Amino acid sequence: MKFKSGKWLLHESVRAAYATQAVDVRCTEDQISLAALTQPLRHRGSVLNTPTITVDLSSPAPEVVRVRATHHSGVLDPGPHFEVHQAPGEARVTQSANAVALATGQLTARISLQDRFELSWTAEGRELTHLGPEDLGYMEVGDDGPFMMARLALGVGASVYGLGERFTALVKNGQVVDSWNEDGGVGSEQSYKAVPFYWSTDGYGVFVNTPALVSFEVASEVTNAVQFAVRGQTLEFMVIYGPTPAQIIERYTQLTGRPALPPAWSFGLWLSTSFTTGYTAATVRDFVETMAHHDIPLSVLHFDSYWMKALCWCDFEWDQQAFPDPAGLLGWLRERGIHPSVWINPYIGQRSPLFAQAAAAGYLARRPDGSVWQWDLWVAGMGLVDFTNPGARAWFADKIKALVATGIDAVKTDFGERIPLDVAWFDGSDPERMHNYYSFLYNQSVFEALRSVRGEGEAVVFARSGTAGSQQFPVHWGGDCDASYVSMAESLRAGLSLGLSGFAFWSHDIGGFEGTPSPELFQRWAAFGLLSSHSRLHGSTSYRVPWEFGPDSVRVVRFFARLKNRLMPYMWRVGVEAHQRGLPVLRATVLEFPDDPTARHLESQYLLGPDLLVAPIFRPNGAGEAYLPAGLWTEFFTGERLAGPAWWRGQCRPDRIPLFVREGASIVQGSREDRPDYDYAEGFTVEVFALPDGADASAQIWGTDGTLALTVHLHRTGRRVSARLDGRIPHQWSLRWVAGPLGPARGPVVTAASDSCSALFLDIPDGE
């Protein structure tokens, strides 16, 4: 929302009351409260007949300062509120004649007590950001109601990231972003997952602590600042010190919640029936048998919307005409090691037998006049489950638990964005705040129901909507993309933006949802999709089985599905790190290389974990490019060495993707490629890439239960690499030095293998 017309003037309908001077300072050992006058204090009467903003500072966690600015404090606060996990550190308040300050760790927030209101944040001897006399205010905007606004300065050259899943440019500078969930598809400024959190390359992040609509002006209304505004009388935000992007995201997810660790089987290939296709039990059996015939490992079979009868969504009952024996079909899938998944949404159509039941019990959202809220946009006469009602949550959860009891392992939680404002929620929640927060309650309810039956570490959803904190309930996918190269690139941008907003596990519809991809596009998207944290073949009106796109597509999907399964020891380690630290599996290049100016704007490539750089092909005819930051990079498939910083450009055949390994990386490949869930600590190979002379490296191997099985410690001395195991000793393992060039087929330069021993030594060939 723009309040100003240019630099000097306000828009005609706007009246502003800015924090101008701090008075009446009250401190405890770890908190500050003061009154900010909105006119200068010239005499005793200056405090009369003028709005005053109460500013409170505290520290909910180390390296985090919370600011709460309030105009009128007596306004009712019906909620909802984000769940903030507080871990208070040793906040320290100091006061002098000129200033009052609150410090936590390296971060200090300082408020001037002179004749100009100024609030600045510093760390390790430098200023991170500040706001001045016209940067914190109470704003009246015509008939649109009151707003609270803050404006934080940006340093020269600072780039801004985050704000949830955004299909626009990865760097948010110059954008106007409203944190408001919408079912807008891929390719617009709307978002399925709005998150009021951003971070700057100046070394700090900002979390605006409200699920209500937050309007961000990112170097747009004022080109040297980020402005954010919320409707109402109170604005609360937290400044989070890094200084690195990874540390900012770690601290943000400490506040809003770290993701659960999805089950290892969920990392394998998901095959969907697709949406409106005419699938039946016979179709499903044919898909599974043909995938096996083509030797393509399949982990999850997903039944999309029409597993239920049309007009009856959601009644949680199988369409008996298409699926006369669901128990037999689910058992048949499980006998083949395939995990069944089903689609749901939080809407109950009027023809569903559950509609009358839920309406009578008060489980559906109601309009202010007491009638059930209904409309026809989606399922005819649909109502909306009121997750603010504990009874409704328990009722809905029981439906999920009953599904799990029949053999369902995963649930696709679709929708949750079209949440109306003309609703009187059961618990009295503010409708504007519930619009985004509904996605949190919906996915939390389903996830916890799954976990209560399947157990810790076995729950997984496939969610489209979300907001701050929703990252606790993985996995999330990128919504309704088109079958085009442009839409594939948009999907990646959004996934990287979501990862920089605290979401760790992410997927997308391989081949695009709308339309039907060309065989070449399908193959390129398959390579990208199977080098993502989670991988799903899904479409709208046409199937996404690879043989629909020709024999080359079958070979490509088989190759990358089996490659991903071999890479699962590495992928699983990255997943454990995501669970423990909140870092995304797919990482924008800037996250790993924040000091590289070129890395800041890269949105067509990513790092899969810390060590694998992936550059999907977004153009026909196999033309690709990748930026390699400083260091020595090894092309994964050929072993070719390239020195960065440099751009790689070249042609890529359909069963390859530009994939580069970071200098000194040790990538663990597993012993199986037919499934993603197996014993990673048995029969593995540690591949060492360009470890410098005299350097140490290590590789952790985690069990599928989330516990550390062993660590491989590596050291290079001259032309010898030694490897020592710490932990469980496998019956067989090997060590491999990878270099090249080795030609079109990848292979090792030298390998050392051993049975039941805790150490290996490998001699590096001459020239290495």
Reply yes or no on whether 417 is catalytic.
yes
Contacts of 292 (CB under 8 A, 6+ apart): 298, 336
Structural domains in the chain, CATH included, are 4-72+88-256 (2.60.40.1760), 264-345+385-482+504-519+527-576 (3.20.20.80)
Lowest mean pLDDT, pick from 42-46, 53-57, 262-266, 596-600: 42-46
| Mean pLDDT calculated for residue range 708-729 | 95
The whole-angstrom separation of Cα 279 and Cα 323 is: 10
pLDDT for the residue numbered 766: 75
Mean pLDDT, the chain, rounded, equals 96
Q: Which residue has the tokens 């040793």?
A: 90
Q: Please report the pLDDT score of residue 41 as a whole number.
A: 87
- At 489-518, the pLDDT tens digits run 999 999 999 999 999 999 999 999 999 999
Q: Which of 63, 417, 577, 663 is catalytic?
A: 417
pLDDT one-digit tens code per residue, 636-666: 998 889 999 999 999 999 999 999 999 999 9
Beta-sheet strands, E only, within 189-307? 194-200, 204-208, 214-218, 225-231, 234-241, 269-272, 300-303
Asked if the model's pLDDT at residue 20 lies above 80, the reply is yes
Q: Which of 275, 37, 254, 262 is nearest to 136 (CA)?
A: 37
Helix H, strand E, coil C: the string for 361-381 is HCCECECCCCCECCECCCCCC
- 383-384 and 347-348 as β-strands: parallel, antiparallel, unpaired? antiparallel
**pLDDT score, position 758:** 92
pLDDT band at 749, cuts 50/70/90?
low
Q: Is the pLDDT of residue 95 over 90?
A: yes
8 A C-beta contact, residue 680 and residue 686? no
What are the distances in angstroms from CA 337 to CA 106, 268, 675?
51, 12, 9
Indicate whether 755 pLDDT > 80: no
Is the confidence at residue 581, as pLDDT, over 70? Answer: yes
The pLDDT of residue 455: 94
**Given the residues 221, 414, 509, 673, the one annotated as active site:** 414
CA separation for the pair 422, 375 (Å, rounded): 12
Choosing from 480, 490, 611, 687, the catalytic residue is: 480
- Residue 414 a catalytic site member: yes
Distances (CA, A) of 683 to 9, 214, 268, 562, 590: 70, 52, 20, 16, 35
Instruction: Please spell the DSSP secondary structure of 463-475, one letter per residue.
Output: BS-B-TTGGGS--
Give pLDDT tens digits for 409-441. 999 999 999 999 999 999 999 999 999 999 999
Contact in structure between 308 and 342 (CB atoms under 8 Å): no
pLDDT score of 754: 77
Indicate the pairing of strand 234-241 with strand 269-272: unpaired
CA 428 vs CA 363, 423, 576: distances in Å: 14, 10, 39
Mean pLDDT to the nearest integer, 186-215? 97
Q: What is the mean pLDDT of residues 270-284?
A: 97
pLDDT given for residue 626 in this prediction: 98
Specify the pLDDT at position 740: 53
**Predicted confidence band at 745 (pLDDT cuts at 50, 70, 90)?**
very low
Q: Is the pLDDT of residue 747 over 60?
A: no
Tell me which of 185-189, 394-398, 467-471 is least confident: 185-189
- pLDDT score at 18: 96
430 belongs to the catalytic site: no
pLDDT of residue 742 exceeding 70, the answer is: no
